[in-house]
Structure 1
Amino acid sequence: MDDDEAVRLATASLVRSLGRPTRMFASAEEFLASGHVAETSCLISDVMMPGMSGVAMHERVIALGYAPPTIFITAFPGPDLKAQALANGALAVLEKPVDAGAIAHWLSVALDQA
């Protein structure tokens, strides 16, 4: 999810091109209210969004008892943010603009584990 529609559409298009189904959400709140949290097999989220941040949303998902592999993307990759996200179980924190190969790699790590 990303509050920037162009980034959201580009990321979803990339994920679909890799043969993966996708759902898009404009905000953390929209995702949490969607009814799709339990069935999420991998979460790709921007960190900085209006309202709830991606990291706060990830913490809420964990508190609800779910732990989907999570990939964060951000334009502001500070060491504290990265440490917090990884400590909460995120797979990766990628800097915008995100390389398609990095997304493909981390999706494979998240979804192709035996």
Structure 2
Amino acid sequence: MTDQAVIHIVDDDRAAREGLGFLLSSLGLKTRAYASAAELLEAIDDQAEGCILADVRMPGMSGLELLDELGRRGCLLPVIMITGHGDVPMAVRAMRAGAVDFFEKPVNGMTLVDRIKEALDQSRARAGTEREKVRLIRRIDSLTTREAEVARAVLRGLMNKQIAHELGISQKTVENHRHNAMEKMGATSAADLVRLLVAAGWSEG
């Protein structure tokens, strides 16, 4: 677990917030507590590593409404919902909206901790993927217009001769642009170049 990972506890019940915070802190986990969904949304870095524990029933924005808002924002943090008044439809609604789990109070502390650790591992992997994507996009931005055109043609599966015909340039020029694109992207082969472009979010279109 990284020192950067933060467990964000959202509950209007102060005793519940403090109880969860004490439990998690005693296990060496970093926590931050919020009395409302609005307070969380104002303060959170939703692209960082960590996870969110949110109560379902809160004044103002409910936990389910918070889940919807986090989805609209493209939040990368896994969300675990906790409620004292759970039912099956509510749990289904939360899971469909992106929650990774749903607990009813009173919560089994160690079961929750195990799930939180899994969520933090998931968050760390996702954050690593996003960082890699940003790095690759920066490399793509360093390509010249022609290098990018050749790279996109390679992504479409075209051979050098086909690319030359499509772009109206010589095959040797295509080879030079392809070599430069691979070098800038850090690719060792055409297949590797395709893999990196796909990882960066490029499509064949």
Length-normalised TM-score, structure 2: 0.53
The residue type paired with residue 105 of structure 1 is: D
Structure with more of its chain in helix, by fraction: 2
Query: Structure 1 residues 32-41 or 80-89, which shifts more?
Result: 32-41
Residue correspondences, number: 114
CA offset digits 1:42-69 (Å, max 9, x no partner): 0001000000001111110110111311
Deviates more, 1:84-93 or 1:45-54: 84-93
What RMSD over aligned residues (CA atoms) do the two structures have, in Å? 1.4
- CA deviation profile, 1:11-49 (whole Å, cap 9, x unmatched): 111121222111100000111111433335100010000
User: Which of 1 and 2 has higher RCO (CA within 8 Å, sep 6+)?
Assistant: 1
**1:100 corresponds to:** 109
Greater than 2 Å deviation, 4+ residue runs: 35-40
Give the Cα–Cα distance (whole angstroms) in 2 for the partners of residues 35 and 43 of structure 1: 10
Listed one character per residue, the Cα deviations across residues 52-97 of structure 1 (whole Å, up to 9, x for unaligned) are 0011111101101113111111011111110011111211110111
Unpaired stretches in structure 2, ≥5 consecutive residues = 1-9, 126-205
Give the alignment's TM-score, normalised by structure 1: 0.92
Map 1:27-66 to 2 at 5 A.
27-39=36-48, 41-66=50-75
Contact 2:67–2:98 (CA under 8 A) maintained in structure 1: no
Higher-Rg structure is 2
C-alpha contact 1:18 1:104 (8 A) present in aligned 2: no
Match of 1:91 among 86, 92, 100: 100
2:58 is aligned with 1:70: no
Contact 1:43 1:68 in 2 (8 A): yes
